[in-house]
Structure 1
Amino acid sequence: MLDEHMQYANFRGIRQSMNYHTDSAKTYLTQPEVSRTFEWRRGFKELARRGLSYDLQLYYWQMEEFLELARDFPDVQIILNHTGMQVDGPSHFEGWREAMNTLAQAPNVACKISGLGMGNWNWTSESIRPYVEEAIAAFGVDRAMFASNFPVDKLFSSYDAIWNAFKKITVGFSVSERSALFHDNAATFYRV
């Protein structure tokens, strides 16, 4: 199947939702730690063989599992989606922050800062500021990028509001840092 997709010039990689939760309403998988199984890793190895990237969606408490994966496959560019899905509210901030710093240890992992309204539909630029700043602190300006989660974000925000919040939060950043976060890193990681 990957070879068929590679016939298209713009194909760069795959995205997979690996979210596992003990609450069946919040899980995407039927079992935990799928990435540690032989069968799954055999398939993942095909990404490395073809030079494809892997967009990863997971809950923040799964990051140690995926740090192991990133270290085992250093040639695969992994892009963490939705800022590690901190959907459990501010009381879980420290656990999320520690997990982000854990996953950021792998140099082949980058972070898409997006989906921050999923945990708080009444978000403001100030309520998401700590998440944006900590994600950038963990991954560095060179391995972070801004993105939206549209059309899902449409449930609780406008496209303009999201991007204006990112602009407001980074107003003190240099021109080159903002360029990296808003454009350059995405162009690099997705090879466009």
Structure 2
Amino acid sequence: MLDPALPIIDPHHHLWDHPGERYFLDDLLRDAGSGHAIQTTIFVQCGAMYRAEGPEDERSLGETEFVTGAAAQSATGKYGPTRACAGIIGMVDLTLGDRVAPLLAAHRAIAGRRFRGVRNRTAWHPSPEVRSNLVTPPPGPLEHPGFAEGARELARQGLTLDVWAYHTQLPLVLALARAVPELTIILDHVGGPLGTGPFRGRREEVFPVWRQSIQALAALPNLAVKLGGLAMQVNGFDFHLADRPPGSEALAAAWKPYIETCIEAFGPTRCMFESNFPVDKGMCSYPVLWNAFKRLAAGASTAEKAALFSGTAARIYGLSSFSTSPAR
């Protein structure tokens, strides 16, 4: 492990039980306990454990109930030093506009201070080869007339909005951020530079288009960005096809242009490294992933590293009430 004492908040992971793939608290803690100083984690919406019955708009409360239980289990301290799911990003359909207020209140009643924001299913492209969600979302939620109003209610309640969008959708994210400047928006997975489907083999064409959008987004102070998610197949890095998993040097070399562009545009105080596990587990292991991030941040100052690996996430998600001192 590189710099094993560096405190880390992992601001983006999932827990789920899908056919053929289960990733529960013990799996997360096994990864988090593999050598890096992962002190705290933030769960992000993934459609897990929805209620089987009841009004459709309330079924996602099941996910918040499920994750709150995992967080409470971790908080006992009986399962290691990592405090898993100290922050919860849930699902409330923002296209409901001003009707989201009671739904947000219901999630907060379940999770308390752990409930820090919302993410909707928004990553969409017309090509059937471009897919990163287990359930393909409908096109257009970011453009829906009610979405901005729902986002304003998030801001009124002091909550954040995570947005997972492909690089082709970044102008829509820009429009939303301008329409709701009072809302803190976190752009997931470096803004989704596509490398599959119609974009396979066109990385040199995609990169400048993606970079221009990143720079435009960074000009707005209400935006932050998560550095990670590049081990998803949709980005076109084919490490999963190799005979052996990649080392951290190979990952850092492949991802450097994207990570450096984001840090240069947003600055360390609006960037946070993320694992996106277990999704990114399809290409690399948890300890190798964080070693790659540490290689990418090798030239940063001590203060900049503190922001990139824990400080930005703690501030953006309001985790100041949770300890970020070394837990080991």
Shorter-chain TM-score range: over 0.9
Computing the radius of gyration from Cα coordinates, the structure with the larger value is 2
Give 2:125's aligned residue.
21
CA deviation after TM superposition for structure 1 residue 29, in Å: 3.4
Structure possessing the higher relative contact order (Cα contacts under 8 Å, 6 or more residues apart): 2
Give the ranges of 4+ consecutive aligned residues of structure 1 lying more than 3 Å apart after TM superposition. Answer: none
1:5 to 107, 112, 135: 107
CA deviations over 1:112-152 (Å, ceiling 9, x no partner): 00101222132621011111100101111111110111001
1:57 pairs with 2:184 = no
Give 2:95's aligned residue.
none
Give 1:77's aligned residue.
184
Give 1:35's aligned residue.
142
Counterpart Cα distance in 1 of 2:212 and 2:306: 27
Counterpart Cα distance in 2 of 1:14 and 1:114: 19
Counterpart Cα distance in 2 of 1:45 and 1:181: 27
Structure 2 spans left out of the alignment, 5+ residues: 1-102, 240-249, 320-328
SS of structure 2 residue aligned to 1:9:
helix
Give 2:76's aligned residue.
none
Residues 61, 99 of structure 1: 8 Å contact kept: no
State how 1:39-188 maps to structure 2 within 5 Å: 39-88=146-195, 90-91=203-204, 92-118=206-232, 119=235, 120-122=237-239, 124-188=251-315
Residues 19, 59 of structure 1: 8 Å contact kept: yes
SS of structure 1 residue aligned to 2:119:
strand
Q: Under a length normalisation based on structure 1, what TM-score does the superposition of the two structures give? A: 0.93
Counterpart Cα distance in 1 of 2:291 and 2:180: 36
SS of structure 1 residue aligned to 2:114:
coil
CA deviations over 1:14-50 (Å, ceiling 9, x no partner): 1123112111353643233x32322222322221221
Q: Of Structure 1 and Structure 2, which has the larger fraction of its residues in strand?
A: 2
Residues 63, 99 of structure 1: 8 Å contact kept: yes
Q: Under a length normalisation based on structure 2, what TM-score does the superposition of the two structures give? A: 0.56
Aligned residues: CA RMSD: 1.5
Give 1:53's aligned amino acid. T
Structure 1 spans left out of the alignment, 5+ residues: none
Give 1:55's aligned amino acid. D
Counterpart Cα distance in 1 of 2:219 and 2:137: 26
SS of structure 1 residue aligned to 2:225:
strand
Residues 112, 146 of structure 1: 8 Å contact kept: yes
CA deviations over 1:64-86 (Å, ceiling 9, x no partner): 11111111111111000011111
